[in-house]
Structure 1
Amino acid sequence: MQEFRIAVPDAALDDLDRRLDATILPEPTPGVDWSRGIPPAVLGELVARWRDRFDWRAHERRLNGYGQRLVEVDGCTVHALVVRGGRPGRLPVVVTHGWPYSFVSMLALAERLRGELDVVIPSLPGYGYSDVLPVPFTGSAVAARWHGLMEALGYPRYLTYGEDVGAEVSDWLAATRPGAVAGIVASHASFSARDRPGVELSDEERAFLRSVAPPAESGYAHQQGTRPDTLAAALIDSPSGLLAWIAEKVAVWSDGEGLERIDTDDLLLNVAVYWFTRSIGTSFRPYAEGDAQEGPHPLIEVPASILIQRHEAGYPRSLAEKTYTDIRAFERLEAGGHFTAWEAPERVAAAIMSLEAEVR
């Protein structure tokens, strides 16, 4: 294990400025704003802000104010931001981001928990400052390394929380390490019941599962899963293209119209992490490898607190009960979409602290 600090070379900042200056915006396609992707006018404003008003060095200093570690776990060097200072006797929580976000998108949640619980925010393998996995990217493979990471950091018992790709990791961690995982908080509750042999779904449950996979929103996943290297070649060479690809998903998947609920500098910081680490291509590995490598995770028998975010507002409690056998709380959020901890960090923090108080 070693301490880690972010230090982007001046030459990399100069190169980014040059590329942003040379941005060519597309002509808008006829249609309602955001229905054809990110509106070029919105992208132009974001590029201008990134070029002229985004202070990477200030953000770099802020990030380096947190404790960061590089930990070798089962052949993979994992980057983790660690916020210590929790109250004595309290359980820590490991928090896992998804795609297209990064460890920086979980900082608002960490700040709400600061002084109460220790918080560990690993970067997924192949994302940001973590190495790629030496094996196919699956939820179980990452979960095994997260358990090793928590042991290396001195945490034999802990809570888990994850979103998107990180939700699958969190589910596998809770399902396969019940002796260490004291409880799970899930705002991206598992869909695994649909794939588990012998499980009968109700009409309500089947209707919900159909509703969360509209064809118009699945193109990105098909491209990332089938032609990841071609897409990566385009995005890794163009900061404006990378910004467009990520910002469009943040806008469409968050709760609100466009980017109104997301702080612009937070968005740019997230994109900048992808840019400076050249990790957008390796971030596609869950889409290209995960589904083909393993089936559904086992039943989750540790205590669970379920938060239903607004993009899955119709998720039936009965569906959760087919996966989580010990549900201690089930709540439908009034605000907060796919990026739940980014959009509604106070509600996620409250759920984590409530479950921790119950199971500690």
Structure 2
Amino acid sequence: MSRRPKRDRPAASVGCRRYAPGMEQFRWEVGEADLDELRRRAREARFPRPIGDAAAESGLTLDRLEALVARWGGDFDWRAVEGRLNEVPQFTTVIDGQLIHFARIEGVGTPRARRVPIIVFHGWPYSFIEMLPLAIELAGTEVDGVVFDVVVPSLPGYGPSAALDGAPFTGPVVAELMHSLMTDVLGYSRYLSYGEDVGSTTSDFLAALHPESVAGLIATHAAFPPPSRANDLTPVEQRWVDWHDGEWKRASAYAALQSTRPETLAVALSDSPAGLAAWIIEKLLAWSGPGDWWSDDELLTTASLYWFTGSIGSSFAAYRDYRLQPELPLVSVPVAVAVQHGERGFPRSYAERTYTDIRQWADLPTGGHFSAWQTPQLVAAEIRSFAVGHFDPVG
């Protein structure tokens, strides 16, 4: 089987100026030829006829998709997106031979403010970009004498971060890379962790494996207990699990395909802007719950990151390698759970099967799966409350 040459860098360029030992500044600079190719392919897209009443179960109708792709091939201004992204300090570093991209926003506060580092992880099908509203909210304001330094990495194989080479995409593997980023590269001895979707697994393993450094964990995607700890469910827990499983019964085919035929799917999506937009944006809309959360240009920005970095196939690694995932150990560090609206009713006792020291519990009143993107102020308030009461910089 032939393979395309492996690229060490995405279509965005990495600057050469050294920022600090082990770090280089990163800037988004997509080539004009890459922009022209995307626009051409979008303009030449072909769309199917409607298939029965399929639109009723989808988050994205064909009419809206056609309008999105037409804008992508026309007036969508990627250069304006680049300009805004490049206002956010971004860097790359190499950890154990692995290229990692991350944003780092240092908090603004008074000299006497307590500075709290926090690492924030995105999931699939999103990126570091969708976590920036939360990062900016946390770093931009001192509250109750606390200011946050926020680190937002691109997970391996997402965006500018290289795909893992020679190691599976599992919670422990990615967690060790991120721990080295926070401690060895950035010099933080104690920090908080927050993650969503695929990134929640990284966050959970980070806290489980490095309680000496992770001072606390905040979860809007609280861990489901592994089979060994999911026995003898209470009636409340069983009703919630049955409800949750029913909600996902007809919505999980994407995960099966990404885990069993990732290359086949990646070929289709890497060759077609319309296909990529359909695959990604349908999930963004379907999982966000009721309401219009984002503009068309915000949705196209997410799709553009995957297109220009050629990372849709490598983003499937977490699904392909899930079978290699070890059981999540008990998490003993202090934890705050804010139940995202898409998992409303999540029983606290179910979370306590994994988190042994829950200090704070709340239900987010609105939003959906993409908590940090949809409701950054709500999530930031939960993180601030937890940090004020429970962050110990000494340990």
1:133-152 correspondence runs (5 A) = 133-134=164-165, 135-151=167-183, 152=185
Question: Out of 65, 71, 76, which is 2:98 matched to?
Answer: 76
Q: Which amino acid aligns with 2:266?
A: A
Structure 2 residue 87 is the aligned partner of structure 1 residue 62: no
Question: Out of 321, 325, 332, which is 1:294 matched to?
Answer: 325
Greater shift, 278-287 or 71-80, is seen at 71-80
Aligned-pair CA distance for 1:36: 4.8
Distance 2:231 2:180 in 1: 32
**% identical aligned pairs:** 46
Provide the secondary structure at the position in 1 that maps to 2:321.
helix
Aligned-pair CA distance for 1:295: 2.6
Aligned-pair CA distance for 1:199: 4.7
Runs of 4+ off more than 4 Å: none
- Cross-structure match for 2:132: 107
- Assess if the C-alpha contact under 8 Å between 1:29 and 1:36 holds in 2: no
Q: Which amino acid aligns with 1:186?
A: A
Q: Which amino acid aligns with 1:77?
A: L
- Assess if the C-alpha contact under 8 Å between 2:122 and 2:199 holds in 1: yes
C-alpha distance 91-49 of structure 1, shift in aligned 2 (>3 A): same
Distance 2:306 2:277 in 1: 10
Question: Out of 256, 260, 265, which is 1:231 matched to?
Answer: 265
C-alpha distance 59-354 of structure 1, shift in aligned 2 (>3 A): same
- Cross-structure match for 1:262: 294
Question: Out of 62, 67, 70, which is 1:48 matched to?
Answer: 70
Q: Which amino acid aligns with 1:245?
A: W
Provide the secondary structure at the position in 1 that maps to 2:100.
strand
Structure 2 residue 180 is the aligned partner of structure 1 residue 158: no
Aligned-pair CA distance for 1:322: 1.4
Q: C-alpha root-mean-square deviation of aligned residues, in Å?
A: 1.5
Greater shift, 157-166 or 48-57, is seen at 48-57
- Cross-structure match for 2:216: 183
Q: Which amino acid aligns with 1:207?
A: R
Deviations 1:221-269 (A, max 9, x none): 0000000000000000011110000111111110215xx1223222111
Deviations 1:125-164 (A, max 9, x none): 0000001112000011101110000111121111100000
C-alpha distance 6-198 of structure 1, shift in aligned 2 (>3 A): closer
Distance 2:312 2:230 in 1: 38
- Cross-structure match for 1:315: 346
Structure 2 residue 365 is the aligned partner of structure 1 residue 334: yes
Provide the secondary structure at the position in 1 that maps to 2:116.
coil
Structure 2 residue 337 is the aligned partner of structure 1 residue 306: yes
Deviations 1:281-319 (A, max 9, x none): 0000000102x1133211111111101111111210111
Q: TM-score, normalised by structure 1?
A: 0.95
- Cross-structure match for 2:252: 218
Question: Out of 143, 153, 157, which is 1:126 matched to?
Answer: 157
Q: Which amino acid aligns with 2:320?
A: A
Structure 2 residue 307 is the aligned partner of structure 1 residue 285: no
Distance 1:7 1:137 in 2: 28
Q: Which amino acid aligns with 1:101?
A: Y
C-alpha distance 34-72 of structure 1, shift in aligned 2 (>3 A): farther
Provide the secondary structure at the position in 1 that maps to 2:47.
coil
- Assess if the C-alpha contact under 8 Å between 2:226 and 2:328 holds in 1: no
- Assess if the C-alpha contact under 8 Å between 1:90 and 1:356 holds in 2: no
Q: Which amino acid aligns with 1:90?
A: R
Provide the secondary structure at the position in 1 that maps to 2:271.
coil
Question: Out of 200, 216, 234, which is 1:167 matched to?
Answer: 200
Provide the secondary structure at the position in 2 that maps to 1:111.
helix
The answer for unaligned runs of 5 or more in structure 2 is 1-22, 141-146
Q: Which amino acid aligns with 1:190?
A: A
- Assess if the C-alpha contact under 8 Å between 1:183 and 1:303 holds in 2: yes
C-alpha distance 112-37 of structure 1, shift in aligned 2 (>3 A): closer
Aligned-pair CA distance for 1:50: 2.0
Q: Which amino acid aligns with 1:246?
A: I
- Assess if the C-alpha contact under 8 Å between 2:60 and 2:286 holds in 1: no
1:4-23 correspondence runs (5 A) = 4-23=26-45
Q: TM-score, normalised by structure 2?
A: 0.87
- Assess if the C-alpha contact under 8 Å between 1:43 and 1:244 holds in 2: yes
- Assess if the C-alpha contact under 8 Å between 2:58 and 2:286 holds in 1: no
Distance 1:263 1:140 in 2: 36
- Cross-structure match for 1:272: 304
Distance 1:129 1:144 in 2: 19
Deviations 1:333-358 (A, max 9, x none): 11011111111111111111111111
Distance 1:186 1:198 in 2: 19
Question: Out of 274, 277, 281, which is 1:247 matched to?
Answer: 281
Distance 2:229 2:340 in 1: 27
The answer for unaligned runs of 5 or more in structure 1 is none
Greater shift, 147-156 or 45-54, is seen at 45-54
Aligned-pair CA distance for 1:74: 2.1
Q: Which amino acid aligns with 2:137?
A: R
